[in-house]
Chains A and B, each alone.
Chain A
Amino acid sequence: MRIRGAAVVILLAPAMAAMVVLYVIPLGVYFINSFHRFLDGRILPVWTLQTYVEYFTDSFTYKVMGTTLRLSLLVTVLSIVIGYPLAYALHTRVRSAAAKGLLALLLFSPLLVSVVVRTYGWLILLAGTGVVNTLLRGLGIIDQPLNLLFNMTGVVISLTHILLPFAIFPMYSVMSRLDLSLKEAAHDLGAGWWDTFTHVTLPLTMPGIVAGALICFTLALSAFVTPRLLGGGRVQVMPLMVYNNTVDINWPTGAVSGLVLLLMSIAAVWTLNSLLRRLPSV
């Protein structure tokens, strides 16, 4: 059934109305604040670029940006490096469809539970007398408990865990569409498993890697709960800055940093998407 004319407008009107009133206007109202100024605990309704100037001349800005990018990059690389063998093993080494489905569900299951719950789990695991330190000491690997909490280490571990399913599923999805006869052909032509992997499997699964990296990186950029609860104030990332600025009623600075965070997300999506388009599609 093809939909034409007035029907198209009627069908789209509710969603569009909601998007304009509850999405475009709030974001507009928010970002307009970036052209105002925060002085002596209140917002001056003047039109100025002063907040931008102050934001970009403050060295703290670049420190926070650096931390945010470093965290996001680290977590993305870890998620891909850990997730790739998992996706590959799930695709090639699990025969029965039922076992495959069950494992996929298990790998996906943490996403059904609040990120607060998962972060709490890592709080228990990484504590000084927690599971990880107790096990490492029991095995004689360390003498003193490692400081895994309230610093970058804890945030990286926990955030990698949270984003891992987002890395696994795009890669798995590309692998499952992969033509296995190509691997056999490479093998028949005398290529060893390593050559087959680097010359056939890896390039063909690259779209999955890039898609996984895209999701992980954008989600890591805007991660809030984990850096807040596990960073102990030492992992100052941009979403936390936006939060703090808002709590301090400094909406102008909050709006500038929010806008910068948004532009970083868009830049990441755009870069990885154009990379994705240049890759051969499977």
Chain B
Amino acid sequence: MGLLLAWEAASRLGLWRAWVFPSPAAIGRSFWAGVVDGTIPRGILTSMRRLVVGYCISLVGGVSLGLLLARSRSLRESIGTVVTGLQALPSICWLPLALLWFGLSETAILFVVVAGSLLAITVATEAGVSNVPPLYVRAARTMGARGMTLYLRVILPAALPAILSGMRLGWTFAWRSLMAGELLFVSGGLGQLLATGRELGDMARVMAVMVAIVTLGLVTEVLIFQRLDARVREVWGTDRS
């Protein structure tokens, strides 16, 4: 709060030009205007829809691929290196190819989002599954668990703490990929609002969108991931160690 006041005061004193770095009040006005004329809610809706769809694809695909990699040695040897290599590639690098394959479409941007988050989840799942104590598997086998039951009821839950950290990472990667994609090619969403703000030289608007993005990030973090994390810690007792 004090920081905000200092920022506002400094802006009013004219320490820098307002159009380079707008004051909190200007950002607030711009944010409110965006909410009233519906551009910010519409942008949030469009972006969130893409994010959720892309992330769900990544989640299902990433966990499945991670399980397959952990299970099959030959698969690990053949595509394991590719996965590690591709993971180092910023997903926005896929955009030219995605545009060529899918055109200026929703699919292209979803592709970039999935490319950004899927492999983070894959790598975390594979590591989590490989680190499941063999004793759990042996015990489950003596109790009669086999095949899919063994994977779904024992190995996957045992790897859940690791998978969860991969999910968290995947979510932030998905966000970044989406914003980069939306900034680069115009098709609605918060990224486009940023781009138009830049074109109009309206930095208050740009920063108002940034505030919206930060808020969304905080909300999902607190409402979803921190809760899941707290639950896992409570069950596994990792708080106490």
Do these two chains interact?
no
- Chain A residues with CB under 8 Å of chain B are none
